[in-house]
Amino acid sequence: MSDFEPDLGSMGSISNFNDNSDTICLVFYKSADEDEWTNTTVNFDRIPQVGEYFALSRDSDWYQVRAVVHMGFPLDYDAELYAICVDDRIALRQQFADL
For residue range 26-66, what is the model confidence (pLDDT) as tens digits? 889 888 777 888 889 999 989 999 999 999 899 999 999 99
- Choose between 89 and 33: higher pLDDT: 89
The domain tally of the chain equals: 1
- Residues written for the chain: 99
In a domain, 68, yes or no: yes
In a domain, 42, yes or no: yes
Given pLDDT bands bounded at 50, 70 and 90, which one contains residue 22? low
Q: How many other C-beta atoms lie within 10 A of the C-beta of residue 28?
A: 19
Residue 1: its pLDDT value, please? 43
In a domain, 7, yes or no: no
Q: Are 56 and 48 in contact (CB under 8 A)?
A: no
Compute the distance between CA of residue 62 and CA of residue 86 in angstroms, rounded to an integer: 6
| Residue 71: domain span | 16-95
**Residue in 52, 53, 57 with CA at minimum distance from that of residue 40:** 57
In a domain, 70, yes or no: yes
